[in-house]
Amino acid sequence: MPRNENTPTTGTPQNISCLSENTVPYPDPINGMELVTEIKKILNTYLFMPTGADDAIAIWILHTYIPDAFDYTPRLSIISPEPRCGKTSLLDFLTQLSYRPLSVSGISASAMFRVIELEHPTLIIDEADTFINTNEELRGIINTGYKKDGKVIRSEINNKNFRPQVFICFAPCAIACIGKTPQTIADRSIIICMERKTKNEKRERIISRKIRPITGLLKSKCLRYMQDNREQISAIYPELPEWLDSRAQDITEPLFAIASNISPEYLTQFTSSIKTLMKNRSNIDELSLKTMLLSDIRSIFAAKDCEYIDSTVLVEELKNLEESPWYEYNYGRGLNVHSLAKLLKDFDIKPAQHRIGYNRVRQYALVDFVPKFERYLPPTSPTPQQKTEESCHNVTINTPSRIINEEESENLSDIPF
Protein backbone atom coordinates (compact mmCIF):
# COMPACT_ATOMS: atom_id res chain seq x y z
CA MET A 1 0.00 0.00 0.00
CA PRO A 2 1.46 3.40 -0.91
CA ARG A 3 2.57 5.47 2.04
CA ASN A 4 1.24 9.02 2.36
CA GLU A 5 3.23 11.95 3.70
CA ASN A 6 1.90 11.45 7.25
CA THR A 7 3.00 7.83 7.49
CA PRO A 8 6.15 7.54 9.64
CA THR A 9 9.13 5.90 7.97
CA THR A 10 10.37 2.77 9.68
CA GLY A 11 13.72 3.34 11.36
CA THR A 12 13.55 7.13 11.10
CA PRO A 13 13.89 8.78 14.51
CA GLN A 14 11.07 11.10 15.49
CA ASN A 15 12.27 14.67 15.97
CA ILE A 16 12.16 15.63 19.62
CA SER A 17 10.65 18.97 18.61
CA CYS A 18 7.31 17.20 18.90
CA LEU A 19 7.47 18.40 22.51
CA SER A 20 6.52 21.91 21.47
CA GLU A 21 3.68 22.98 23.75
CA ASN A 22 0.67 24.49 21.96
CA THR A 23 -1.64 24.96 24.92
CA VAL A 24 -3.19 28.43 25.09
CA PRO A 25 -4.12 29.83 28.51
CA TYR A 26 -7.84 29.94 29.25
CA PRO A 27 -9.16 33.48 28.60
CA ASP A 28 -10.79 33.99 32.02
CA PRO A 29 -9.36 33.72 35.55
CA ILE A 30 -9.70 30.26 37.10
CA ASN A 31 -10.94 29.28 40.55
CA GLY A 32 -8.42 26.79 42.01
CA MET A 33 -10.96 24.71 43.93
CA GLU A 34 -13.20 24.35 40.88
CA LEU A 35 -10.20 23.38 38.73
CA VAL A 36 -9.05 20.65 41.13
CA THR A 37 -12.61 19.36 41.37
CA GLU A 38 -12.81 19.08 37.56
CA ILE A 39 -9.50 17.21 37.37
CA LYS A 40 -10.53 14.80 40.11
CA LYS A 41 -13.89 14.25 38.45
CA ILE A 42 -12.45 13.11 35.14
CA LEU A 43 -9.87 10.90 36.88
CA ASN A 44 -12.51 9.21 39.04
CA THR A 45 -14.88 8.79 36.10
CA TYR A 46 -12.45 6.56 34.23
CA LEU A 47 -9.97 5.22 36.78
CA PHE A 48 -10.17 3.13 39.94
CA MET A 49 -7.60 4.58 42.34
CA PRO A 50 -6.71 4.29 46.02
CA THR A 51 -8.09 6.73 48.56
CA GLY A 52 -6.41 10.12 48.37
CA ALA A 53 -4.79 9.49 44.98
CA ASP A 54 -7.08 11.90 43.10
CA ASP A 55 -5.99 14.86 45.26
CA ALA A 56 -2.29 14.00 45.00
CA ILE A 57 -2.44 13.48 41.24
CA ALA A 58 -4.44 16.66 40.59
CA ILE A 59 -1.95 18.81 42.51
CA TRP A 60 1.01 16.96 40.98
CA ILE A 61 -0.35 17.79 37.51
CA LEU A 62 -0.59 21.48 38.45
CA HIS A 63 2.97 21.56 39.74
CA THR A 64 4.30 20.43 36.32
CA TYR A 65 3.37 23.86 34.94
CA ILE A 66 5.84 25.70 37.19
CA PRO A 67 8.39 23.16 38.50
CA ASP A 68 11.18 25.74 38.44
CA ALA A 69 9.27 27.75 41.07
CA PHE A 70 10.20 25.07 43.62
CA ASP A 71 13.34 23.45 44.99
CA TYR A 72 12.06 19.91 44.46
CA THR A 73 9.77 17.99 42.16
CA PRO A 74 8.33 14.73 43.54
CA ARG A 75 8.43 11.62 41.41
CA LEU A 76 5.00 10.08 40.91
CA SER A 77 5.47 6.30 41.18
CA ILE A 78 2.49 4.30 39.92
CA ILE A 79 2.78 0.63 40.81
CA SER A 80 0.63 -2.49 40.80
CA PRO A 81 1.14 -6.17 41.68
CA GLU A 82 -0.07 -7.37 38.28
CA PRO A 83 -0.88 -6.03 34.79
CA ARG A 84 -4.30 -4.55 33.89
CA CYS A 85 -4.59 -2.43 37.01
CA GLY A 86 -4.93 0.91 35.22
CA LYS A 87 -1.34 2.18 35.34
CA THR A 88 -1.07 2.92 31.63
CA SER A 89 -4.52 4.50 31.59
CA LEU A 90 -3.45 6.83 34.40
CA LEU A 91 -0.27 7.68 32.48
CA ASP A 92 -2.43 8.54 29.47
CA PHE A 93 -4.33 11.08 31.56
CA LEU A 94 -1.07 12.49 32.91
CA THR A 95 0.19 12.85 29.34
CA GLN A 96 -2.95 14.74 28.35
CA LEU A 97 -3.04 17.01 31.40
CA SER A 98 0.61 17.69 32.34
CA TYR A 99 2.71 20.47 30.87
CA ARG A 100 5.16 19.55 28.09
CA PRO A 101 4.69 15.79 28.47
CA LEU A 102 7.09 13.29 26.96
CA SER A 103 5.64 9.78 27.17
CA VAL A 104 8.07 6.88 26.65
CA SER A 105 8.28 3.15 27.37
CA GLY A 106 12.06 3.06 27.36
CA ILE A 107 14.88 5.60 27.63
CA SER A 108 18.62 5.56 28.19
CA ALA A 109 20.39 7.63 30.80
CA SER A 110 22.15 9.80 28.19
CA ALA A 111 18.90 10.37 26.30
CA MET A 112 17.17 11.38 29.52
CA PHE A 113 19.56 14.09 30.66
CA ARG A 114 19.92 15.43 27.12
CA VAL A 115 16.18 15.71 26.51
CA ILE A 116 15.74 17.37 29.91
CA GLU A 117 18.46 19.89 29.06
CA LEU A 118 16.94 20.64 25.64
CA GLU A 119 13.19 20.46 26.20
CA HIS A 120 12.43 20.73 29.94
CA PRO A 121 9.68 18.09 29.67
CA THR A 122 7.42 16.31 32.09
CA LEU A 123 8.67 12.72 31.73
CA ILE A 124 5.99 10.02 31.63
CA ILE A 125 7.71 6.62 31.78
CA ASP A 126 5.75 3.39 31.30
CA GLU A 127 6.93 -0.24 31.59
CA ALA A 128 9.75 0.88 33.89
CA ASP A 129 10.03 -2.60 35.43
CA THR A 130 11.43 -3.88 32.11
CA PHE A 131 14.55 -1.72 32.16
CA ILE A 132 14.97 0.54 35.18
CA ASN A 133 16.03 -2.05 37.77
CA THR A 134 19.07 -3.10 35.76
CA ASN A 135 20.20 0.39 34.77
CA GLU A 136 22.00 2.06 37.67
CA GLU A 137 22.98 5.12 35.65
CA LEU A 138 19.37 5.78 34.64
CA ARG A 139 18.22 5.43 38.25
CA GLY A 140 20.91 7.92 39.21
CA ILE A 141 19.56 10.48 36.71
CA ILE A 142 16.01 10.03 37.99
CA ASN A 143 17.21 10.33 41.58
CA THR A 144 19.27 13.47 41.10
CA GLY A 145 16.59 15.09 38.93
CA TYR A 146 14.14 15.52 41.81
CA LYS A 147 16.23 18.44 43.09
CA LYS A 148 16.48 21.78 41.34
CA ASP A 149 20.28 21.83 41.26
CA GLY A 150 20.48 18.16 40.23
CA LYS A 151 22.97 17.74 37.41
CA VAL A 152 25.49 15.40 35.85
CA ILE A 153 28.75 16.03 34.00
CA ARG A 154 29.59 14.17 30.81
CA SER A 155 32.37 14.49 28.25
CA GLU A 156 31.23 15.92 24.91
CA ILE A 157 33.17 16.22 21.66
CA ASN A 158 33.88 19.83 20.72
CA ASN A 159 36.14 20.49 17.72
CA LYS A 160 37.43 16.92 17.95
CA ASN A 161 38.33 17.42 21.61
CA PHE A 162 36.53 16.11 24.66
CA ARG A 163 35.19 18.78 26.96
CA PRO A 164 33.26 18.32 30.21
CA GLN A 165 29.68 19.57 29.97
CA VAL A 166 27.09 20.02 32.69
CA PHE A 167 23.57 18.68 32.05
CA ILE A 168 20.60 19.70 34.17
CA CYS A 169 18.48 16.70 35.29
CA PHE A 170 15.68 18.58 37.09
CA ALA A 171 12.27 17.67 35.64
CA PRO A 172 8.89 16.32 36.79
CA CYS A 173 8.71 12.58 36.27
CA ALA A 174 5.96 9.93 36.55
CA ILE A 175 6.98 6.27 36.48
CA ALA A 176 4.76 3.19 36.13
CA CYS A 177 5.90 -0.35 36.84
CA ILE A 178 4.73 -3.76 37.99
CA GLY A 179 6.06 -4.51 41.44
CA LYS A 180 8.01 -2.19 43.67
CA THR A 181 9.75 0.95 42.51
CA PRO A 182 13.51 0.87 43.25
CA GLN A 183 14.08 2.03 46.82
CA THR A 184 15.95 5.25 46.02
CA ILE A 185 13.25 6.34 43.57
CA ALA A 186 10.45 5.37 45.96
CA ASP A 187 12.09 7.53 48.62
CA ARG A 188 11.62 10.53 46.31
CA SER A 189 8.08 9.59 45.28
CA ILE A 190 4.42 9.98 45.91
CA ILE A 191 3.42 6.34 45.47
CA ILE A 192 0.09 5.39 43.91
CA CYS A 193 -0.76 1.70 44.39
CA MET A 194 -3.16 0.68 41.62
CA GLU A 195 -5.34 -2.42 41.79
CA ARG A 196 -7.75 -4.15 39.46
CA LYS A 197 -11.31 -3.02 39.95
CA THR A 198 -14.00 -5.54 40.84
CA LYS A 199 -17.21 -6.06 38.89
CA ASN A 200 -19.00 -3.76 41.31
CA GLU A 201 -16.46 -0.94 40.89
CA LYS A 202 -17.77 0.51 37.67
CA ARG A 203 -15.83 3.02 35.60
CA GLU A 204 -16.52 4.41 32.14
CA ARG A 205 -14.53 3.01 29.23
CA ILE A 206 -11.79 5.32 28.01
CA ILE A 207 -12.35 6.59 24.46
CA SER A 208 -9.51 8.94 23.60
CA ARG A 209 -11.29 10.97 20.94
CA LYS A 210 -14.13 11.57 23.41
CA ILE A 211 -12.05 12.78 26.33
CA ARG A 212 -9.34 14.75 24.50
CA PRO A 213 -11.51 17.87 24.12
CA ILE A 214 -12.23 17.72 27.87
CA THR A 215 -8.58 17.25 28.86
CA GLY A 216 -7.53 19.92 26.37
CA LEU A 217 -9.86 22.44 28.03
CA LEU A 218 -8.65 21.39 31.48
CA LYS A 219 -5.04 21.83 30.40
CA SER A 220 -5.81 25.34 29.20
CA LYS A 221 -7.32 26.11 32.61
CA CYS A 222 -4.35 24.62 34.42
CA LEU A 223 -1.98 26.81 32.43
CA ARG A 224 -4.00 29.96 33.17
CA TYR A 225 -4.31 29.21 36.88
CA MET A 226 -0.62 28.46 37.36
CA GLN A 227 0.48 31.47 35.32
CA ASP A 228 -1.76 33.77 37.35
CA ASN A 229 -0.67 32.33 40.68
CA ARG A 230 2.99 31.50 40.05
CA GLU A 231 4.49 34.31 42.14
CA GLN A 232 2.02 33.85 44.96
CA ILE A 233 2.58 30.08 45.12
CA SER A 234 6.38 30.31 44.94
CA ALA A 235 6.32 32.72 47.90
CA ILE A 236 4.43 30.21 50.08
CA TYR A 237 6.51 28.24 52.58
CA PRO A 238 3.89 25.88 53.96
CA GLU A 239 4.02 24.46 57.45
CA LEU A 240 4.61 20.79 56.77
CA PRO A 241 3.22 17.96 58.92
CA GLU A 242 5.63 16.56 61.50
CA TRP A 243 4.65 13.00 60.60
CA LEU A 244 6.53 13.43 57.32
CA ASP A 245 10.23 12.61 57.40
CA SER A 246 12.70 15.15 55.99
CA ARG A 247 12.77 13.67 52.47
CA ALA A 248 8.98 13.42 52.35
CA GLN A 249 8.74 17.06 53.46
CA ASP A 250 11.06 18.08 50.64
CA ILE A 251 9.11 16.33 47.90
CA THR A 252 5.65 17.34 49.15
CA GLU A 253 6.44 21.01 49.79
CA PRO A 254 5.51 22.10 46.22
CA LEU A 255 2.21 20.25 46.49
CA PHE A 256 1.39 21.71 49.90
CA ALA A 257 2.20 25.19 48.57
CA ILE A 258 -0.27 24.78 45.71
CA ALA A 259 -2.92 23.31 48.00
CA SER A 260 -2.41 26.20 50.43
CA ASN A 261 -2.97 28.68 47.63
CA ILE A 262 -6.29 27.07 46.68
CA SER A 263 -7.93 27.41 50.10
CA PRO A 264 -7.43 26.53 53.78
CA GLU A 265 -10.30 24.04 53.53
CA TYR A 266 -8.73 22.28 50.59
CA LEU A 267 -5.35 22.22 52.33
CA THR A 268 -6.95 20.22 55.16
CA GLN A 269 -8.43 17.77 52.67
CA PHE A 270 -5.14 17.48 50.77
CA THR A 271 -3.20 16.87 53.98
CA SER A 272 -5.51 13.98 54.83
CA SER A 273 -5.01 12.48 51.37
CA ILE A 274 -1.23 12.73 51.56
CA LYS A 275 -1.24 11.15 55.01
CA THR A 276 -3.16 8.17 53.62
CA LEU A 277 -0.77 7.78 50.68
CA MET A 278 2.30 8.11 52.87
CA LYS A 279 1.02 5.29 55.07
CA ASN A 280 0.81 3.16 51.95
CA ARG A 281 4.32 4.23 51.01
CA SER A 282 5.70 3.17 54.41
CA ASN A 283 4.12 -0.25 53.92
CA ILE A 284 5.69 -0.91 50.54
CA ASP A 285 9.07 0.82 50.74
CA GLU A 286 11.73 -1.80 50.20
CA LEU A 287 14.20 -1.53 53.04
CA SER A 288 17.86 -1.87 52.31
CA LEU A 289 19.32 -5.12 53.57
CA LYS A 290 21.05 -3.47 56.52
CA THR A 291 18.01 -1.41 57.47
CA MET A 292 15.88 -4.55 57.26
CA LEU A 293 18.36 -6.23 59.61
CA LEU A 294 17.98 -3.41 62.14
CA SER A 295 14.20 -3.65 61.88
CA ASP A 296 14.23 -7.40 62.47
CA ILE A 297 16.63 -7.10 65.42
CA ARG A 298 14.40 -4.44 66.98
CA SER A 299 11.46 -6.84 66.73
CA ILE A 300 13.45 -9.64 68.34
CA PHE A 301 14.61 -7.48 71.26
CA ALA A 302 11.02 -6.32 71.77
CA ALA A 303 9.65 -9.87 71.72
CA LYS A 304 12.27 -11.14 74.18
CA ASP A 305 12.11 -8.01 76.36
CA CYS A 306 15.79 -8.21 77.27
CA GLU A 307 18.97 -6.18 77.41
CA TYR A 308 21.39 -8.71 75.92
CA ILE A 309 21.14 -11.52 73.43
CA ASP A 310 23.70 -14.13 72.38
CA SER A 311 25.02 -13.72 68.85
CA THR A 312 24.17 -17.36 68.08
CA VAL A 313 20.65 -16.99 69.45
CA LEU A 314 20.15 -13.75 67.50
CA VAL A 315 21.22 -15.46 64.27
CA GLU A 316 18.77 -18.30 64.80
CA GLU A 317 15.95 -15.89 65.64
CA LEU A 318 16.64 -13.92 62.47
CA LYS A 319 16.68 -17.04 60.31
CA ASN A 320 13.36 -18.15 61.79
CA LEU A 321 11.56 -14.94 60.84
CA GLU A 322 8.97 -15.46 58.13
CA GLU A 323 9.47 -13.59 54.84
CA SER A 324 13.00 -12.59 55.82
CA PRO A 325 16.10 -13.15 53.67
CA TRP A 326 18.30 -14.42 56.49
CA TYR A 327 17.68 -18.15 56.06
CA GLU A 328 18.76 -17.98 52.40
CA TYR A 329 21.32 -15.21 52.92
CA ASN A 330 24.78 -15.51 51.37
CA TYR A 331 23.75 -17.59 48.35
CA GLY A 332 21.70 -20.05 50.35
CA ARG A 333 24.26 -20.70 53.06
CA GLY A 334 22.28 -18.66 55.56
CA LEU A 335 23.24 -15.94 58.03
CA ASN A 336 25.91 -16.83 60.60
CA VAL A 337 27.55 -14.96 63.48
CA HIS A 338 30.38 -13.75 61.23
CA SER A 339 28.17 -12.39 58.45
CA LEU A 340 25.93 -10.78 61.10
CA ALA A 341 28.92 -9.01 62.62
CA LYS A 342 30.02 -7.85 59.18
CA LEU A 343 26.58 -6.37 58.39
CA LEU A 344 26.45 -4.55 61.72
CA LYS A 345 30.02 -3.24 61.46
CA ASP A 346 28.94 -0.20 59.41
CA PHE A 347 26.64 0.79 62.26
CA ASP A 348 29.58 0.47 64.68
CA ILE A 349 27.77 -2.26 66.61
CA LYS A 350 29.88 -5.12 67.93
CA PRO A 351 29.22 -8.02 70.31
CA ALA A 352 31.03 -8.12 73.62
CA GLN A 353 32.21 -11.14 75.58
CA HIS A 354 30.15 -11.87 78.69
CA ARG A 355 30.57 -14.51 81.37
CA ILE A 356 27.64 -16.51 82.70
CA GLY A 357 28.98 -18.82 85.38
CA TYR A 358 31.89 -20.63 83.75
CA ASN A 359 30.52 -20.01 80.24
CA ARG A 360 31.77 -17.36 77.89
CA VAL A 361 29.35 -15.98 75.30
CA ARG A 362 29.41 -13.17 72.80
CA GLN A 363 26.36 -10.97 73.18
CA TYR A 364 24.82 -7.92 71.57
CA ALA A 365 23.50 -5.20 73.87
CA LEU A 366 20.22 -3.43 73.27
CA VAL A 367 21.72 -0.13 74.38
CA ASP A 368 24.07 -0.24 71.36
CA PHE A 369 21.15 -0.63 68.96
CA VAL A 370 18.72 1.98 70.33
CA PRO A 371 20.45 5.05 68.77
CA LYS A 372 20.55 3.25 65.41
CA PHE A 373 16.87 2.31 65.67
CA GLU A 374 16.06 6.00 66.20
CA ARG A 375 18.22 7.15 63.28
CA TYR A 376 17.40 4.58 60.62
CA LEU A 377 13.95 3.14 61.38
CA PRO A 378 10.48 4.65 61.49
CA PRO A 379 9.12 5.10 65.01
CA THR A 380 7.23 2.28 66.65
CA SER A 381 5.91 1.50 70.09
CA PRO A 382 8.40 2.29 72.89
CA THR A 383 11.16 -0.18 73.56
CA PRO A 384 10.22 -2.40 76.55
CA GLN A 385 11.69 -1.25 79.84
CA GLN A 386 14.84 -3.02 80.79
CA LYS A 387 13.80 -5.21 83.70
CA THR A 388 16.86 -7.27 84.54
CA GLU A 389 20.56 -7.63 83.96
CA GLU A 390 20.01 -11.30 83.14
CA SER A 391 21.07 -12.35 79.66
CA CYS A 392 18.68 -13.75 77.09
CA HIS A 393 20.67 -16.96 76.96
CA ASN A 394 19.14 -20.16 75.75
CA VAL A 395 19.99 -21.71 79.14
CA THR A 396 18.49 -20.06 82.24
CA ILE A 397 21.30 -19.22 84.66
CA ASN A 398 20.84 -17.16 87.81
CA THR A 399 24.34 -15.69 87.77
CA PRO A 400 24.17 -12.25 86.13
CA SER A 401 26.29 -11.68 83.08
CA ARG A 402 29.08 -9.12 82.96
CA ILE A 403 31.63 -8.03 80.41
CA ILE A 404 34.95 -9.86 80.60
CA ASN A 405 38.14 -7.87 80.36
CA GLU A 406 41.16 -9.14 78.44
CA GLU A 407 43.00 -10.46 81.54
CA GLU A 408 39.99 -12.45 82.71
CA SER A 409 39.48 -13.77 79.17
CA GLU A 410 42.99 -15.23 79.18
CA ASN A 411 42.53 -16.74 82.66
CA LEU A 412 39.28 -18.40 81.63
CA SER A 413 41.13 -20.43 79.05
CA ASP A 414 42.56 -22.54 81.91
CA ILE A 415 39.18 -23.36 83.42
CA PRO A 416 37.93 -26.84 82.48
CA PHE A 417 34.47 -26.97 80.87
pLDDT in tens, 281-318: 655 444 578 888 999 999 999 999 999 999 999 999 99
Q: Residue 215 domain-assigned?
A: yes
Nearest alpha carbon to residue 368 among 332, 326, 403: 403
Q: Do 276 and 244 fall into the same domain?
A: yes
How sure is the predictor about 38, in pLDDT bands with cuts at 50, 70 and 90?
A: very high
pLDDT for position 264: 96
Same domain membership, residue 274 and residue 201 = yes
Average pLDDT, the chain: 85
Q: Nearest-CA neighbor of 335 among 394, 273, 292, 384?
A: 292
In this predicted structure, the answer to whether residue 189 has a pLDDT above a threshold of 90 is: yes
Amino acid identity, position 359:
N
Pairing between strand 122-125 and 173-178? Answer: parallel
User: What pLDDT was estimated at residue 273?
Assistant: 96
pLDDT at 287: 56
Name the residue with higher pLDDT: 293 or 160: 293
- Using alpha carbons, select from 96, 100, 90, 143 the residue that is nearest to residue 123: 100
What size, in residues, is the chain? 417
Q: What are the φ/ψ torsions at residue 102 (nearest 5 degrees)?
A: -130, 105
Q: Is residue 12 part of a domain?
A: no
Higher-scoring residue by pLDDT: 392, 60: 60
| Domain count across the chain | 2
Consecutive H or E run containing 157: strand 151-158
277 lies in the same domain as 312? no
Buried b (16+ CB within 10 A) or exposed e, 323-336: ebbbeebeeeebbb
Residue 143 maps to a domain: yes
Q: What interhelical angle do 264-284 and 246-262 show, nearest 10?
A: 150
pLDDT value for 413? 42
pLDDT in tens, 94-123: 999 999 999 999 999 999 999 999 999 999
> Which of 284, 312, 345 is the last residue in one of the domains?
284
Q: What percent of the chain has pLDDT over 70?
A: 84
How much is the pLDDT for 16?
53
Cα–Cα distance for residue pair 303/148, rounded to 1 Å? 44
Q: Which domain holds residue 346?
A: 289-412
Q: Is residue 369 part of a domain?
A: yes
What pLDDT shows up at residue 398?
35
Show contacts of 264-272: CB within 8 Å, 24+ apart. 266/32, 266/33, 266/36, 267/238, 269/55, 270/55, 270/56, 270/59, 271/241, 272/52
The answer to whether residues 155 and 163 touch, using CB atoms and an 8 Å cutoff, is: yes
Q: What is the pTM of this model?
A: 0.72
